[in-house]
Chain A
């Protein structure tokens, strides 16, 4: 039966996370943005408070006895609320991060136990990261040049990864590398590299338009040796086609979460300017009807964006394939949120670009949401292929 009601667990989490975002993240947002980093003691505190996210009973998360779980819904509801607080800060919350979904999708039980649980135990903050992008391979993931060569009980990794969130500090890094460039995607596998492995060199830490407080690193692998068992999925992963699918499955889970973060930023802008306009734009102002109409459009577009995220998450929890819906949420929500951020600055005028308010920061932060985890364009490729089929296949091979 169709219902848009969230269950009590989800409502509780939504409330809890919102409070955390409002009381802890938002007040620290400006300072972190200016410093370009988050203080270690704040990171530790974020880790302790966000530990509350783990209070959901696991069977409810994963689903049991044929009943759908809520793990994906939980993730998008949390993402929206956290990003409403501050999107850059939340990327500093310790945990597996984007390494999580790929290990979950492609790892063996032993690997999941080790890299998702054991590593993250203990008192001090630990991070996971996913390294996919290379200087010459963004959306075209199949074009990665990083190689993995087997040498007895080890893999030797060589190559360069860029734009890796939390890459420098990652305790668990997942990366994709090719075993055989001639096989394209099928030649790629996912590997785990632990912090401090010789041959893994941290390169440049990027300076960015927005999300300044989030670490974005270049990683260079120079004859980096890792144990054979660090290939995700173990020996089975060497069967043809299993590795690349793992990466793609990761996107189906992570895209709606990233889209939900965009909704959170858009909503932050919308709510801020709504309240500002109520107090600051006089009733007789000729701008007033324009402002009211703009607010209404923002509200509607953010609402439908949220629904796209929720549908994609609900499908994932119900084990319904959701590639199209995941890409729709990611293609639609960041642009709707960007329009909300632009609208907020337009409404506030010169107050809007001032660093006295966070709207200028949200406008800088939001832009990357139409770029990372798949640009709007590559998501449109995914969506249209789902609708039209692979019409470009014939052209490519000819």
Chain B
């Protein structure tokens, strides 16, 4: 057991943290109002080799293991969860292709991504959330798709369009396919420009070395949401903590009251447990451990629940101020539950885990 990041991981975390604190956080409200992540930040993260990890022999700056990618997700989301969601789910296409695809598919797609081609990964569904074992979008033998996806980032602008289908299997939408994509006018994560896409009748080509490679790659990118939830939790907790130190009532800082300080302790434990299980899940994915799928589902559920609780208490600790747009807590409150719809502990994570306890006859 060892919980120290490598020097390389430490350097990446610090670079991303710097960007998140100094560039993203101060403008988060503006991005939310624009309804999209700023191109400047997208470009910067792309050029740093952070958002779209591609192997050097395909023109990129190298790839990360799952551990590093969840650390990056946490740091970016600490700046703004919506920007993190937008940038990372576009970049996830590169990871998916790199891990799941055959050499010829990689040789075709990765250089395009390295040159900056826009891409998306369509994963979330209404009934499955992001449970990769329960996906209902289907493809027939000719590669015609049936089904709908949610939270597809920049669906209208993307050239490389990856769609996860039941199995799970992975599909590349044909260039002439034009599925109907409607912008999502969402409660939260508004700085992520997302679409609800109906794929009925769209033609696609199957990708992937084999089912196992696709499964591992999907688990891997799914874990990004746990990382984003960690960053959101940390942001909400730190902001509320600072407020609790400064705001006085009845002659003392409100943090001196146990009604407030115990909330902070509880939410800090939610964050800590979420981070530990997310790191363990990432470690399990990196090492192809048999328990990786259970850990990923548990981590995504636990981290989402931690984010919802942290944002809720974040607003509560700020009281009336928390409800107002002058402070970011109300934004994180909306972001948290939007993110959690894909992962909510009881509805997706634990439902997945519970399958292990079903009678074999089912």
| Nearest chain A CB to B78 CB, angstrom units | 16
Say which one of B104-112, B218-226, B261-269 lies at the interface with A: B261-269
Q: How far is the CA of A380 from the CA of B266 in the complex (A)?
A: 8
Q: How far is the CA of A385 from the CA of B255 in the complex (A)?
A: 9
**Across the interface, do A307 and B273 meet the contact criterion of CB distance under 8 Å?**
yes
**Across the interface, do A394 and B361 meet the contact criterion of CB distance under 8 Å?**
no
Partner of B261, one of A274, A305, A380: A380
Point out which of A283, A307, A328 has the most chain B C-beta atoms below 10 A from its C-beta: A307
**Across the interface, do A278 and B359 meet the contact criterion of CB distance under 8 Å?**
yes
Q: Is B276 an interface residue (CB 8 A)?
A: yes
**Across the interface, do B265 and A331 meet the contact criterion of CB distance under 8 Å?**
yes
Within 8 Å CB of A395, what residues of B?
A: 251-252, 256
Q: Is B258 an interface residue (CB 8 A)?
A: yes
Q: Is B253 an interface residue (CB 8 A)?
A: yes
Q: Mark B240-277, 1 if CB is under 8 A from A, else 0.
A: 01001100000111011010011011101100111011
Say which one of B41-49, B88-96, B318-326, B343-351 lies at the interface with A: B343-351
Q: A73-B1, A300-B350, A391-B253 are in contact. Are A384 and B361 (CB under 8 A)?
A: no
Point out which of B5, B67, B255 has the most chain A C-beta atoms below 10 A from its C-beta: B255
Q: Mark A310-339, 1 if CB is under 8 A from B, else 0.
A: 110011000000000100100110000000
| Nearest chain A CB to B95 CB, angstrom units | 19
Q: How far is the CA of A308 from the CA of B265 in the complex (A)?
A: 14
**Across the interface, do A300 and B269 meet the contact criterion of CB distance under 8 Å?**
no
Q: How far is the CA of A292 from the CA of B353 in the complex (A)?
A: 8
Within 8 Å CB of B276, what residues of A?
A: 304, 307-308, 311
Q: A304-B302, A308-B276 are in contact. Are A388 and B351 (CB under 8 A)?
A: no
Say which one of A2-10, A96-104, A236-244 lies at the interface with B: A2-10
Q: Is A91 an interface residue (CB 8 A)?
A: no
**Across the interface, do A296 and B2 meet the contact criterion of CB distance under 8 Å?**
no
| Nearest chain B CB to A36 CB, angstrom units | 35
Q: A300-B302, A311-B3, A380-B262 are in contact. Are A388 and B255 (CB under 8 A)?
A: yes
**Across the interface, do A277 and B301 meet the contact criterion of CB distance under 8 Å?**
no
Q: Is B164 an interface residue (CB 8 A)?
A: no
Q: A73-B1, A308-B273, A314-B2 are in contact. Are A391 and B67 (CB under 8 A)?
A: no
Q: Is A299 an interface residue (CB 8 A)?
A: yes
Q: Is A224 an interface residue (CB 8 A)?
A: no
**Across the interface, do B277 and A304 meet the contact criterion of CB distance under 8 Å?**
yes
**Across the interface, do B273 and A293 meet the contact criterion of CB distance under 8 Å?**
no
Q: Is B358 an interface residue (CB 8 A)?
A: yes
Q: Mark A381-398, 1 if CB is under 8 A from B, else 0.
A: 101110111011011000
Q: How far is the CA of A330 from the CA of B268 in the complex (A)?
A: 14
Q: A293-B350, A388-B264 are in contact. Are A304 and B273 (CB under 8 A)?
A: yes
Main SS class of interface, B: helix
**Across the interface, do A4 and B265 meet the contact criterion of CB distance under 8 Å?**
no
Q: How far is the CA of A299 from the CA of B277 in the complex (A)?
A: 12
Q: How far is the CA of A221 from the CA of B6 in the complex (A)?
A: 54
Interface residues of A in 266-322 (CB under 8 A from B): 274, 277-278, 283, 288-289, 291-293, 295-297, 299-300, 303-305, 307-308, 310-311, 314-315
How many chain A residues touch B (CB < 8 A): the figure is 48
| Nearest chain A CB to B305 CB, angstrom units | 10
**Across the interface, do B357 and A387 meet the contact criterion of CB distance under 8 Å?**
no
Interface residues of A in 163-183 (CB under 8 A from B): none
Interface residues of A in 1-60 (CB under 8 A from B): 1-6
**Across the interface, do A295 and B357 meet the contact criterion of CB distance under 8 Å?**
yes
| Nearest chain A CB to B235 CB, angstrom units | 15
Q: Is B57 an interface residue (CB 8 A)?
A: no
Q: Find the A residue at minimum CB distance from B301.
A: A300
**Across the interface, do A2 and B2 meet the contact criterion of CB distance under 8 Å?**
yes
**Across the interface, do A384 and B349 meet the contact criterion of CB distance under 8 Å?**
no
**Across the interface, do A314 and B272 meet the contact criterion of CB distance under 8 Å?**
no
Q: How far is the CA of A57 from the CA of B349 in the complex (A)?
A: 41
**Across the interface, do A384 and B269 meet the contact criterion of CB distance under 8 Å?**
no
Q: Mark B142-165, 1 if CB is under 8 A from A, else 0.
A: 000000000000000000000000
**Across the interface, do A391 and B252 meet the contact criterion of CB distance under 8 Å?**
yes
**Across the interface, do A4 and B283 meet the contact criterion of CB distance under 8 Å?**
yes
Q: How far is the CA of A5 from the CA of B272 in the complex (A)?
A: 19
**Across the interface, do A297 and B350 meet the contact criterion of CB distance under 8 Å?**
yes
Q: A73-B1, A311-B3, A380-B261 are in contact. Are A388 and B245 (CB under 8 A)?
A: yes
Q: How far is the CA of A277 from the CA of B359 in the complex (A)?
A: 10
Q: How far is the CA of A385 from the CA of B253 in the complex (A)?
A: 13
| Nearest chain A CB to B309 CB, angstrom units | 13
Partner of A293, one of B1, B272, B295, B351: B351
**Across the interface, do A383 and B245 meet the contact criterion of CB distance under 8 Å?**
no
Q: Is B279 an interface residue (CB 8 A)?
A: yes
Q: Is B336 an interface residue (CB 8 A)?
A: no
Within 8 Å CB of A392, what residues of B?
A: 252, 256
Within 8 Å CB of A394, what residues of B?
A: 252, 256
**Across the interface, do A1 and B2 meet the contact criterion of CB distance under 8 Å?**
yes
Q: Mark B64-87, 1 if CB is under 8 A from A, else 0.
A: 000100000000000000000000
| Nearest chain B CB to A354 CB, angstrom units | 22
Shortest 7 CB-CB contacts between residues of A and residues of B: A296-B353, A384-B261, A292-B354, A304-B273, A307-B276, A296-B354, A296-B350
Listed A/B pairs (12) with beta-carbon separation below 8 Å: A1-B5, A3-B283, A283-B361, A289-B354, A292-B357, A296-B351, A296-B357, A300-B349, A383-B265, A383-B269, A384-B265, A391-B252
Chain B interface (Cβ < 8 Å from any Cβ of A) = 1-6, 67, 241, 244-245, 251-253, 255-256, 258, 261-262, 264-266, 268-269, 272-274, 276-277, 279-280, 283-284, 295, 298, 301-302, 345-346, 349-359, 361-362
Chain A interface (Cβ < 8 Å from any Cβ of B) = 1-6, 73, 274, 277-278, 283, 288-289, 291-293, 295-297, 299-300, 303-305, 307-308, 310-311, 314-315, 325, 328, 331-332, 377, 379-381, 383-385, 387-389, 391-392, 394-395
In addition to A1-B5, A307-B273, A377-B262, 19 A-B residue pairs with Cβ atoms within 8 Å of each other are A2-B3, A2-B283, A3-B1, A4-B279, A292-B354, A292-B355, A293-B350, A293-B351, A296-B350, A299-B298, A303-B295, A308-B272, A328-B269, A383-B268, A384-B255, A387-B241, A391-B253, A391-B256, A392-B256
